[in-house]
Structure 1
Amino acid sequence: MGLEKSLMLFPLLVLVLGLVQPSLGRESSAMKFERQHMDSAGTGSSPTYCNQMMMRREMTNGSCKPVNTFVHEPLAHVHAACSQKNVTCKNGKGNCYKSSSALHITDCRLKGNSKYPNCDYQTSNYQKRIIVACEGNPYVPVHLDASV
């Protein structure tokens, strides 16, 4: 009888695991934001910083991401932007917010003659405010919309 129950429950277990498993390895939007944009410990001062970081953060897999910005501030400072004055995002959505102060950032721009797999980036450092799109509960950055 115990074996019969186990055999009856097995298909149900397979169904549940099939539904749950794909989401286990999926990167959340907030985690992707951190991977692509946060480097609290870095300074971005090396001319090869962007080449190294874009590769390390998996933004040169299959193609070269044309533009990316790294923020060199504590994550809490970036999260704080989500409680600032609301601004319209570039895509017209209303979930963007501008940081209250300028932050240390590094812009990485793909050089014109650069082609995959040899992605070559120009590294530029700035002190600028950032505009981030925020979502979720807790309300956290999920997209870096601009630096101004």
Structure 2
Amino acid sequence: MALKSLVLFSLMVLVLLVLAGARPSWPKFENDHMDPGNGPFGPNYCKKEMKSRNISGKQCNTFVHEPMEAVQAVCLEPNITCKNGRDNCHKSRSPMSITECFRKKGRSSYKAINEKRYIIIACKGNPLLPVHYDGSEEVSSEAR
């Protein structure tokens, strides 16, 4: 009986590990840019997030406040040229909620700008997954 329970438990763990591995993983992008929480967020948000994610050395960073699936879907949009000249960037079809955090000169405090913008991300792999936040574009007044 104990052996049967051990075998069943081992199979269950194996199934869970396989299922966990089936979810695409893009940990650096997710750590540096994803926060599906609701905003708007102020300067304390930026300071807290930059520190807790161990990215406080950056002068600026953008957090995307959309579900991970919506951001991953941007990888399915047509390719565009990235700032570095590569052609693996993609622009979101619709504006997304973002917070841009800018570190104030000589300080550990941040200025937070909350906006709805088109995001531009670089994607790699099969399936395509976000690997780099390349920037954003303003929403024109006609699209608002």
Per the TM superposition, whether the score is higher than 0.5 is yes
1:42 is displaced (CA, Å) by 4.1
Instruction: Quote the residue 1:89 is aligned against.
Output: 82
1:30 is displaced (CA, Å) by 1.9
Across the two proteins, how many residue pairs are aligned to each other? 113
Other structure's SS at 1:48 match: helix
- Any residues of structure 2 matched to 1:90-105 within 5 Å, and which? 90-105=83-98
Per-residue displacement from partner, 1:15-71 (whole Å, max 9, x unpaired)? Answer: xxxxxxxxxxxxxx82100000000024242331100100011112xxx21110000
Per-residue displacement from partner, 1:72-113 (whole Å, max 9, x unpaired)? Answer: 000011001101121100000000000000000000011123
Q: Output the aligned Cα RMSD.
A: 1.3
> What is the CA–CA distance in structure 2 between the aligned matches of 1:55 and 1:42, rounded to whole Å?
19
List alignment gaps of at least 5 residues for structure 2: 1-24, 138-144
Instruction: Quote the residue 1:72 is aligned against.
Output: 65
> What is the CA–CA distance in structure 2 between the aligned matches of 1:87 and 1:146, rounded to whole Å?
12
TM-score for the superposition, normalised by structure 2: 0.74
Contact 2:33-2:64 at 8 Å conserved across structures: yes
Per mean C-alpha deviation after superposition, the further-off stretch among 104-113 and 91-100 is: 104-113
Distance 1:98 1:77, change over 3 A: same
> What is the CA–CA distance in structure 2 between the aligned matches of 1:50 and 1:44, rounded to whole Å?
11
List alignment gaps of at least 5 residues for structure 1: 1-28
Which AA in structure 1 matches 2:101?
Answer: C
Instruction: Quote the residue 2:126 is aligned against.
Output: 137
Instruction: Quote the residue 2:52 is aligned against.
Output: 56
Q: What percentage of aligned pairs have identical amino acids?
A: 46
Max radius of gyration: which structure? 1
Other structure's SS at 2:82 match: coil
Other structure's SS at 2:43 match: coil
Contact 1:106-1:126 at 8 Å conserved across structures: yes
TM-score for the superposition, normalised by structure 1: 0.73
